Structure 1
C-alpha cells in the first residue's frame, strides 16, 4: 500500500466514523465569502423595519463611493444603487446570485432567509460590499 492509498483509506474512515459537522461546513463556506477583503464597506445608515406585520424592510447603506438602498420583502431583494454599474451580487452564507443593474435598479427573487449582503463595483472600479443584514 502506497501513501496515496493509505490516505484514501484514512479519509474514508474519518468520513464514516467522524464526519465534519454541518455547522463547520456552513461556517467555512461563509468564511470563504470574506476572500475579497479589499472591498470598501458600505455601512448601514438607515433602517425601517416594521416590528409587527409582513411589510418590507427598508435599508440604506453608504460608502465613500456608493449608496445602496434595499427593500427586502419575503424572499425578494430589490435595490437602488447610486455610484455603481454592471451587476449586483446578492450573497448569503450559502449562495451568490449576480443580476444586472438596470438604470440603477436590481431585483433578486428566491433569496433564502437569513443573512444577506450586496456586492457592487463602483464606477471607478472599486469593489463595494454592504454590511451583513437579515433577510427574513
Structure 2
C-alpha cells in the first residue's frame, strides 16, 4: 500500500468530529431512516406476501376492548394468527401458523429484529417487542416459499 493510501489517526479523528457535527446539526430525518429500513424487505422479494385480513382493533374501534389484540394474516402459503398484548411499555406476541408446521419466525420491528422458532404445531411466542411497526417473516424448512406479512403498527 502506498503512503498516500494510508489513513492516519489524525484523519480518523477529524472524520469522527465531522460525523458528530453532522449528526448533531443535520441528522438523518426519521422518515428517511424508516424508508431505508423498509427497503431491506426487498431481500425477501420471493416470499409470499401475507395480507392483514383481520384486526380486532379495527373491529372494536368504537367499543373498549380489554383483551389482547388479534391479527390475522393470510397468504397461499399459510395463515398466521398473532395475539398482541401490551406489557410494560412493549408488546408480547403469541402466534399460531395455521396449517401447523415448524418455522423460523423473524419479527422485524423498530428496534431491529427478534428471531424465534415456531414448534411443529406452528406455535411461537415473543415476550418483548417494542411498540411500533412490525412485520413477520416465516421461513419453512420443507417449502421453498417463505411468508412475509404486511407491516402493522402495534
TM-score, normalization by structure 2 = 0.73
Q: Give the corresponding residue for 2:85.
A: 73
Structure 1 residue 46, shift from structure 2 partner: 1.5
Structure-1 residue corresponding to 2:51 = 43
* Counterpart Cα distance in 2 of 1:13 and 1:56: 47
Q: Please, which runs of 5 or more residues in structure 2 have no aligned partner? A: none
The two structures, once aligned, show a CA RMSD in angstroms of: 2.5
Bigger radius of gyration, 1 or 2?
2
Shift of 1:37: 2.1
Distance between the aligned counterparts of 1:28 and 1:63, measured in 2? 25
Paired residues in the alignment total 135
Please report the TM-score for the alignment, with normalisation by the length of structure 1. 0.81
Which residue, out of 119, 124, 128, partners 1:110? 128
Task: Point out 4+ residue stretches in structure 1 off by more than 4 angstroms.
Answer: 24-27
Give the gaps of 5 or more residues in structure 1. Answer: none
CA-to-partner distance for each residue in 1:19-45, whole Å, 9 max, x for gaps? 233624454344334432222100111
CA drift at 1:97: 1.1
The structure with the greater share of residues assigned to helix is 2
